[in-house]
Amino acid sequence: MILSDEQDCSDGHALGESATGEDCYTRPEKLVPVADLVADLRDERDGDPVILDAIVGPEVEEGCSETVPGRRYYEAAWRAGGLIGSICDSGNEEMLADLGAPLTGLYHSFVLSERAVVTTIEVRIDPPSDPLAAESYSVVRSHDGVTAIVFPAGTAPPRGARVELTYERAE
């Protein structure tokens, strides 16, 4: 779980000992790619699932000028199948409830292992729960084509359910 009003500055020491916080914004090419950071987290877990949630500064929001957009945290959470919320949102109750769901064995998002042809995605939940659950998901895609399905609050498959995703691989 990441809670920040600033941008991620993971640089692998590339910015040097004398770097200031401003260097994260003026020399972004020196930062470790977010995909590499998430891959490192997965490597450390030896195959166990990694979910990274982020409550960070939004892109632009009135009344929230004291934060910096947390774009890198946003991308990390996206790549790790986590939830993303605004640190400026005073009504994070629903998101906070959803954050606790994986601790009980409930998962709300599933990142596909390959890029998918979105129109071919099929979801099966065994044992079947709410008859609409397998149809209530959204498909989201990152800027580099990573695809995930996300179940809205309250419709995640029940604990212990098997979620099977089939799809055609995009070229």
* Domain final residue pick, 86, 104, 122: 104
Which of 80, 104, 128 corresponds to the end of one domain?
A: 104
* pLDDT given for residue 130 in this prediction: 61
**SS3 (DSSP) at 42:** helix
78 and 112 within one domain: no
Identity of residue 144? D
Distance CA 88, CA 58 (A): 8
Same domain, 128 and 163: yes
Higher pLDDT, 115 or 106: 115
Q: Give the pLDDT score at 31.
A: 92
Q: What is the pLDDT of residue 106?
A: 56
E-state strands within 5-158 = 54-56, 84-86, 109-111, 122-126, 138-141, 147-150
Instruction: Say if residue 98 is in the same domain as residue 17.
Output: yes
Question: What is the structure's pLDDT at 92?
Answer: 60
Give me the amino acid identity at 104.
Answer: T
- What is the four-CA torsion angle of 25, 39, 79, 57, rounded to 10 degrees? -30
Q: What is the pLDDT of residue 161?
A: 79
CB 72 within 8 A of CB 60: no
pLDDT of residue 94: 62
DSSP H or E stretch at residue 2: strand 2-4
Same domain, 64 and 117: no
Domain limits for position 54 = 1-104
Tokens of residue 62, six digits = 């009135």
Q: Is the pLDDT of residue 35 over 70?
A: yes
Q: Quote the pLDDT of residue 113.
A: 79
All residues at 6 or more sequence positions from 145 whose CB lies less than 8 Å from its CB, including other chains: 115, 170
Do 153 and 82 lie in one domain? The reply is no
- Among the candidates 54, 71, 104, a domain finishes at 104
Q: What's residue 133's pLDDT?
A: 61
Q: By C-alpha distance, which of 91, 69, 72 is closest to 80?
A: 72
Q: pLDDT tens digits, residue range 57-99?
A: 887 766 677 788 888 998 888 888 777 778 887 666 666 666 6
CA 124 to chain centre: 22
Write down the pLDDT at residue 33: 93
Q: For 111-170, write each residue's pLDDT tens digit.
A: 787 888 888 888 888 877 666 666 677 777 665 566 777 776 667 777 777 888 889 888
Q: Where are the alpha helices (DSSP H) in 51-104?
A: 71-79, 93-100
Q: In which element (H, E) is residue 144 found?
A: none
